[in-house]
Structure 1
């Protein structure tokens, strides 16, 4: 499996998320500016709710930007144990320890991108092929790592 191409795909997905957040923030700001009313307190409450939504979107955008920055720093290498940048295959799925992006399809395979800080990544951290780990009282065996 070509990790360089996989990282490019993930970076593309993150760029799409960034564009979507930026668009949502711009649209929400525009609607905030368009909100005009003679309702007094209701007007202020509405503006405050829109501002909170903008702040929430900004936090999410910043998180995706951090993920993108993290992707730029990770070395592309072959791994022999579960660690950052490892692709770990268990009987329950294929996991790429990189950023929290969820499920993507790459080379006709479903890969779940998980953060190194996720409970699953922590449970399998340092394990090698044919070793087992447990999460939520479910044992999993590592079938392969690359």
Structure 2
């Protein structure tokens, strides 16, 4: 039986892998379009089209790099590790929120529980690092009380 943390990590890894695959497909399609276009055209319109494809390819490569960085962070996390103090890979319950200290990723819902993935470099992540159950802290005007650390 998978723990909640294992399910969260598996879900995020799958999401990131799917996005990486999608970007690879888009980049490959653009590369193929550019090589096909190069065979049959000449002139200014052709140069403009190739430039636009190249710019689009650079944007896609940049986005894919972001997802590869997120994947590298997720790959460092061992979901079996139990944390007493908040660190990378901790699942934290604070103010009835579930926070997964990993990479900044979209909010998800697993087993009816909403999970927010946040980076240790985020304001909330930086405040929480090293804290344990029962500790409290403030970010902006919100006071957080740590109810559980996994």
TM-score normalised per structure 1 = 0.82
- Find the aligned partners of 1:137 and 1:74 in 2 and give their Cα distance: 31
- Find the aligned partners of 2:25 and 2:100 in 1 and give their Cα distance: 29
- Unaligned stretches of 5+ residues in structure 2: none
Measured against aligned partners, the alpha-carbon deviations of 1:42-70 in whole angstroms (never above 9, x if no partner) come to 54233223212211211221221222233
Show the counterpart of 2:131: 127
Show the counterpart of 2:104: 100
Show the counterpart of 2:70: 67
RMSD of aligned Cα (Å): 2.3
Show the counterpart of 1:15: 17
Measured against aligned partners, the alpha-carbon deviations of 1:69-110 in whole angstroms (never above 9, x if no partner) come to 332222331112221111111226211001222212222211
Q: Which of 101, 116, 119 is residue 115 of structure 1 equivalent to? A: 119
Is 1:80 paired with 2:84? yes
- Find the aligned partners of 2:137 and 2:36 in 1 and give their Cα distance: 54
Alignment length, in residue pairs? 145
- Unaligned stretches of 5+ residues in structure 1: none
